[in-house]
Amino acid sequence: MQVPQNNPLLQTPTRSLPRHVAVIGAGSIGPDIGYYLKSTLPDLKLTLIDISQAAIDGALGRFAEYANKALAKGKMNAQQAAAVQQNVHGSTDYDAIKGCDWVIEAATENIDLKRRIFAAIEARVASDAVITSNTSSLPAERIFSDLQHKERATVTHFFAPAWRNPAVEVIDWPEAAPALVAWLRWVFCSTGKLPLVTSDAPCFMLDRIFDNWCNEAALLLGQATASEVDTVATEFVHAGPFFVLNLAHGNPIITETNTLQADEEGEHYRPAPIFKSVQKWLTVAPGKRVEVPAATAQAIRDRLLGILWSQSVDILDRAIGTPADLDLGCCTALGFKSGPLALLRQTPLAEAQRILDRLAQERAGMPMPRKPLADYLRFERHVLVDDLDGVKVITLRRPEALNALHDEMTDEILAVIRRFENDPGVAGFVITGYGNKAFCAGADIGRFPSMLGDKAAAAQYSRDCSRLLVHLDSMQKPVVAALNGMALGGGFELAMRCHALVAIENSWMQLPEVSLGILPGIGAMVVPYRRWPQAAGTFHAMLRRCEKLKAKQALALGVVDALAKDSSELIALAVARVQALAQGHSRIADAPVAVPAFEPMDGKAASGMILSPTTLALLERAVQQAAEAPTLAAALEIGYLAFGDSACTAAAREGIAAFGERRAPDFARVG
């Protein structure tokens, strides 16, 4: 039996991508699921089934509306916008699903109705067609109990808006074939989603958090108003529970799902009766707040944090999901600013214990930790680690930021390397990115504003940020970068310090730093020239004009060692490369290197953007000085200091501000 991999794309799929999918239910979420599938698999045949023709017409109208918006925003071209609407069929007749290889049920949350639908589906599709339900709460073992072929059925729980929200829970229940779960994870990951595997508990993983978060909010209404609760809650979430309930018309759902939990797991889950009598909550929109007396704020805060941690430890103790998925899912699916475990990590443990003790007093029966709190925090949040034939594959997983690097992720990569580098059973490492779009979109630009304006601090930050890269330089065991998509800025700087690079054919590299008014201060002004002197001209253009380097060009230049057609071939190549380098790998040259002179240029990036002459001058000086430096370490130090200089320019302030404000920087104005 194949051992399931944490990175879904490491598993070789047992069947191909779907060709004909039917979605049953053209209400709110069904068409959104269909739109996601069509926008990522344009050749797919999609059939929408509903008992109401008006619902089907509305769904098709929604496809046109979404596609037109995507076109207007430049997210799709005209051809893509047309393709997403082609080969989409609506029908009130279940016979239209004949020939489907995957049917997704997205009907009302009613177990008898769902069972009738599954019987109708099973009578019409092949015995190996995949059947999934979008239920948010009903366990698979109950809804699929009457199916003849249960092994091809499970729950795939999407989150609103399903065309854009990446999270999907995939339920691993005892009757589901392991190959089914592996295939669903692979399909979702290959199509830009974030599959989160959970066990078959009522409400699975994320709705246990969300439903109880909302229920506690309602139970607090005796001592606080909805506006007060939402005001305090926005410390943790982008929108408070009452605001979200209004938006999603969620009151009946909480009544239903918490009744299910109460009936199965105890009275403490019983929904607040007020859900039945209120249509719309009087509350404040995100960004607005009301004054909350200190004691009330404390009571709300304690209770909300208490329920988050109570539910989280219960989910982990019962192995409903993994800690990394829990935190990531809360952020991506539910709009939390930090995951519950990240919040726990930031809180002194005695304070966290006080909050849990208070919850135990106020809400008897709620789950409490079964082991010391610190034990729940021992996990990697931003990387996945897999083992393939004695090679550790480290996958960067920050899908919300195209796997952009930040300090925590850097530390986790380094910690994994340190854990295994002296293990004789480990041949080496592969570093790759999650999904099929990005290896890594660079450093997390959101963190940059804090280091502008202080030369010494910025230079020190560069040194600190280089801890992983400098470690790679001195390693005995090989580390291979497997570029599964774009490698930008700091992401490419990480890849170029690995001991070999392999890439998927359509991947590309870019150093966009000067377009942000900063310098690539952690190696890109130094390493390429010492490692691939034959490609110096290309790197000049990458650094000064942000020119892209496509994988095929990189192969021709010797920057990349081999190209792969798809992700499984990519990882196989990378693993083979690690094994080939087991006897030793070459080091980045320590000696000075000659670089070609910089030709005069028009001061523009390849995109036409006018660049800052100040930034360009700093860049050119640093590249030349670093090339002459007597050692690699001295050259890198020149890069750190040059970054410090760039961080104090008006161009850096403008470039970073413009990225945050989603506008083009005006370097012509700042110089």
Chain residues binding ligand DAK by CB under 6 A are 401-402, 404, 441-446, 461-462, 465, 486, 488-490, 512-513, 516, 520-522, 643
User: Which residue in this structure is represented by tokens 């989280």?
Assistant: 312
The 10 Å Cβ neighbour count of residue 19 is 13
Q: How far apart are CA 8 and CA 3, in angstroms?
A: 11
Q: Least Å distance between CB 492 and ligand DAK?
A: 8
Q: How far apart are CA 579 and CA 569, in angstroms?
A: 15
User: Has 513 been annotated as catalytic?
Assistant: yes
Q: How far apart are CA 483 and CA 485, in angstroms?
A: 6
Q: Least Å distance between CB 236 and ligand DAK?
A: 18
| Nearer CB in complex with ligand DAK: 26/524 | 524
* Residue from 169, 216, 493, 547 carrying the catalytic annotation: 493
Question: How does DSSP classify residue 608?
Answer: S
Q: Least Å distance between CB 268 and ligand DAK?
A: 36
The 10 Å Cβ neighbour count of residue 534 is 9
Q: Is 41 helix (H, G, I), strand (E, B) or coil?
A: coil
Q: Least Å distance between CB 330 and ligand DAK?
A: 16
| Nearer CB in complex with ligand DAK: 98/406 | 406
The 10 Å Cβ neighbour count of residue 406 is 17
Q: Least Å distance between CB 155 and ligand DAK?
A: 26
Q: How far apart are CA 274 and CA 499, in angstroms?
A: 61
Q: Assess contact for 441 and 404: CB atoms under 8 A.
A: yes
Q: Least Å distance between CB 346 and ligand DAK?
A: 21
* Residue from 122, 513, 547, 637 carrying the catalytic annotation: 513
| Nearer CB in complex with ligand DAK: 445/635 | 445
- CA 116 from centre of chain: 36
| Nearer CB in complex with ligand DAK: 254/440 | 440
Q: Least Å distance between CB 531 and ligand DAK?
A: 18
| Nearer CB in complex with ligand DAK: 76/315 | 76
Q: How far apart are CA 106 and CA 134, in angstroms?
A: 5
Show the DSSP H helices in 234-289 as ranges.
Answer: 241-248, 251-265
Q: How far apart are CA 571 and CA 12, in angstroms?
A: 11
Q: How far apart are CA 353 and CA 371, in angstroms?
A: 12
| Nearer CB in complex with ligand DAK: 126/664 | 664
The 10 Å Cβ neighbour count of residue 391 is 24
Question: How does DSSP classify residue 351?
Answer: H
User: Which residue in this structure is represented by tokens 């130090």?
Assistant: 637
Q: How far apart are CA 172 and CA 199, in angstroms?
A: 5
| Nearer CB in complex with ligand DAK: 55/488 | 488
Q: Least Å distance between CB 656 and ligand DAK?
A: 10
Strand order in the sheet with 20-24: 88-91, 45-49, 20-24, 102-105, 130-133, 153-158, 167-171, 194-198
Q: Least Å distance between CB 416 and ligand DAK?
A: 20
User: Which residue in this structure is represented by tokens 């860049």?
Assistant: 619
The 10 Å Cβ neighbour count of residue 255 is 20
Q: Least Å distance between CB 55 and ligand DAK?
A: 30
Question: How does DSSP classify residue 589?
Answer: P
Q: Assess contact for 98 and 124: CB atoms under 8 A.
A: yes
Q: What is the CA radius of gyration of the chain?
A: 27
| Interior angle at CA 438, CA 525 and CA 665, nearest 5 | 60
Beta bridge partners of 431: 394, 481
Show the DSSP H helices in 380-533 as ranges.
Answer: 407-420, 455-465, 467-473, 490-497, 527-531
Strand order in the sheet with 391-396: 383-388, 391-396, 428-433, 479-483, 500-504, 562-564
User: Which residue in this structure is represented by tokens 């196989």?
Assistant: 572
What DSSP assignment string belongs to 358-377? HHHHHSTT----SS-GGGGG
The 10 Å Cβ neighbour count of residue 317 is 14
Q: Least Å distance between CB 462 and ligand DAK?
A: 4
The residues, any chain, with a CB within 8 Å of residue 662's CB and separated by 6 or more, are none
Nearest to 168 by CA among 190, 152, 149: 190
| Nearer CB in complex with ligand DAK: 275/492 | 492
| Nearer CB in complex with ligand DAK: 48/516 | 516
| Nearer CB in complex with ligand DAK: 250/523 | 523
Q: Least Å distance between CB 246 and ligand DAK?
A: 23
| Nearer CB in complex with ligand DAK: 176/522 | 522
| Nearer CB in complex with ligand DAK: 25/489 | 489
The residues, any chain, with a CB within 8 Å of residue 361's CB and separated by 6 or more, are none
Catalytic positions are 493, 513
